Amino acid sequence: MKLINLTAIYVMWLREMKRFFRAKSRVAGTLAMPLFFLAFLGFGFSGITLPGIPQEMNYINFLVPGIIGMTMLFSSMFAGISVLWDREFGFLKEIMVAPVSRISLVLGRIAGGSTTSLIQGVLILLISVFIGFNIPSLSGFISAVIFMALISIAFIGLGLVFASKMTDIHGFSLIINFVIFPLFFLSGAIFPVNNLPGFIMPLVYINPLTYGVDGLRGSLIGFSQFPILFDITALMGFSLLMVFLGAYFFEKTEV
């Protein structure tokens, strides 16, 4: 048996895509919260200048990459809940006894989840044009898509780690919310991280979303706290680690 089974990866990816497009309420729901953030925060703070943001920069331009990062974080982390649903309805047991490697199943789930998250992130980016955001060059757009994909892969892997160790769907949602919001607020998504107290900065630096949001800003508006190469290297390293841990814990999960 091969370690990587492309057919299994494709089947798991296709299943996630069908579930996503058939649940139209899910698509609308995942887009609603980011759009509310963009509308209320973007227009509400449009007339002020926050410390750490260049005076000539519109707050909406600063906010859009952060909201895209938030969208990728929320949709990716909650992708792990599909493991719990599959366990609840017996599908997980069926695929776990299939003659394919567990890593292929994990990669298929990550591929499907990251594709659906990427669709949502690109939609938010395109919708933001109608509220005043300017998409830069094609190279900037492609760079932003790469950062979106890395954010999604990283946090789907983290979501799989939690899902593989839990059995209660409601408990999973509570734990994920407890993890998501500190990651979000410590990433600089809605305000510059250099405005935070010094004793919190170590948490900012170990937060992988910090580098994802910073990379998105560097790609889309040309403003970043760190070099883009550093952002992509840090995020890629965390993504590889989360894929490895997600596969390891998924291998150990009880069906």
Q: What is the pLDDT of residues 120-178, one digit of tens each?
A: 889 888 888 888 788 878 888 999 999 999 999 999 888 888 877 777 777 777 888 88
Give the model's pLDDT for residue 249: 79
Give the HSE-up count for residue 168: Cα atoms under 13 Å, Cβ half-sphere.
5
Q: What is the pTM of this model?
A: 0.86
Give the model's pLDDT for residue 98: 66
Give the model's pLDDT for residue 90: 62
Q: Which of 24-38, 105-119, 221-235 is the least confident region?
A: 24-38
Question: Look-up: residue for tokens 């395109």?
Answer: 126
Give the HSE-up count for residue 226: Cα atoms under 13 Å, Cβ half-sphere.
22
Give the model's pLDDT for residue 211: 94
Asked if 114 contacts 149 with a C-beta cutoff of 8 angstroms, the reply is: yes
69-84 pLDDT tens trace: 998 888 888 777 777 7
The mean predicted confidence, pLDDT, of the chain is 81
42-66 pLDDT tens trace: 777 666 666 777 777 788 888 889 9
More confident residue, 195 or 220: 220
Give the model's pLDDT for residue 47: 64
Q: Does pLDDT of 1 surpass 50?
A: no
Give the model's pLDDT for residue 78: 76
Give the model's pLDDT for residue 92: 63
